[in-house]
């Protein structure tokens, strides 16, 4: 996994329109992020072109101009801003894979679904929880295509002279900053797993699946 310290780039905002009013799109589910027809792959790479496929392309495969990621400079977005409960639904890790493959490394939303949130850290993506009020202060600059800096070390989003701090769990931060492989660090504790398995075998033999 690539090390993550800071990202400088364009931020795209996912908005819903109701009359003349724009508001943050909530409940963006993983089916929207990457529809099922792209889950037949046996690889992790190459999904970026199908990120938000059904919002991004019409039935004939032509780009829908009004969709944010089809418009310059957002075609190069590295940060995505959205409404609450981002990433709900299916556990498919194809969702963060497609986001990363497109080039997005940071997602800012008021809240995230648990499985998706977890999947992000395993792939070097930083999901940032920020209150809706604070996010609303970012939207204007995002729409103008102003450069954002997301500094994980100092836990700051920096836009021109403005700074917004954010929280991140210590372990998750450490994983991103060092680009750590979880499996490697767990295997380093294999003796604990050995001991645990022995204890189970001795006292709870029924916990092992029976096979005829």
Alpha carbons 166 and 152: distance in angstroms, whole number:
9
Residue 23 found at the interface with other proteins (CB under 8 A):
yes
Residue 153 found at the interface with other proteins (CB under 8 A):
no
Using CB under 8 A, which of 3, 17, 49, 198 touches other proteins? Answer: 17
Q: Is the dihedral of CA 65, 95, 50, 45 positive or negative?
A: positive
Residue 129 found at the interface with other proteins (CB under 8 A):
no
Q: Which residue stretch of 10-18, 64-72, 146-154, 160-168 sits at the interface with other proteins (rule: CB under 8 A)?
A: 10-18
Q: How is residue 134 written in tokens?
A: 């604070």
User: Measured from the CB of residue 14, what is the shortest distance to other proteins in angstroms?
Assistant: 11
Residue 68 found at the interface with other proteins (CB under 8 A):
no
Residue 212 found at the interface with other proteins (CB under 8 A):
yes
As beta bridge partners, residue 49 has: none
Residue 163 found at the interface with other proteins (CB under 8 A):
no
Is the separation of the CB atoms in 80 and 96 below 8 Å?
no
Alpha carbons 41 and 48: distance in angstroms, whole number:
13
Residue 190 found at the interface with other proteins (CB under 8 A):
yes
Alpha carbons 151 and 197: distance in angstroms, whole number:
41
Smaller CB distance to other proteins: residue 43 or 144?
43
Alpha carbons 32 and 53: distance in angstroms, whole number:
7
Is the separation of the CB atoms in 13 and 142 below 8 Å?
yes
Residues of this chain that interact with other proteins (CB under 8 A) are: 16-18, 21-27, 29, 31-32, 35-37, 39-44, 54, 59, 83-85, 88-93, 96, 111-115, 118-119, 122-123, 132, 169-171, 181-183, 186-187, 189-190, 192-193, 196-197, 200, 204-212
């Amino acid at each position: 996994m690539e090390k993550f310290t800071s990202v400088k780039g364009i931020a795209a905002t996912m908005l819903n329109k109701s009359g003349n009013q724009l508001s943050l799109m909530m409940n963006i589910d993983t089916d929207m992020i990457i529809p099922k027809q792209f889950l037949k792959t046996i690889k992790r790479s190459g999904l970026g072109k199908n990120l938000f496929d059904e919002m991004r392309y019409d039935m004939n495969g032509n780009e829908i101009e009004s969709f944010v990621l089809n418009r310059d400079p957002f075609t190069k977005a590295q940060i995505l801003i959205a409404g609450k409960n981002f990433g709900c639904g299916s556990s498919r890790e194809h969702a963060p894979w497609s986001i990363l493959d497109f080039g997005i490394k940071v997602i800012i939303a008021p809240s995230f679904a648990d499985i998706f949130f977890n999947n992000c850290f395993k792939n070097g993506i930083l999901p940032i929880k920020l209150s809706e009020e604070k996010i609303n202060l970012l939207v204007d600059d995002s729409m103008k295509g102003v450069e954002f800096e997301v500094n994980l070390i100092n836990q700051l989003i920096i836009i021109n002279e403005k700074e917004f701090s954010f929280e991140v769990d210590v372990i998750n931060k450490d994983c991103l900053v060092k680009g750590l492989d979880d499996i490697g660090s767990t295997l380093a504790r294999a003796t604990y797993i050995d001991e645990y398995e022995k204890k189970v075998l001795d006292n709870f033999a029924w916990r092992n699946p029976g096979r005829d």
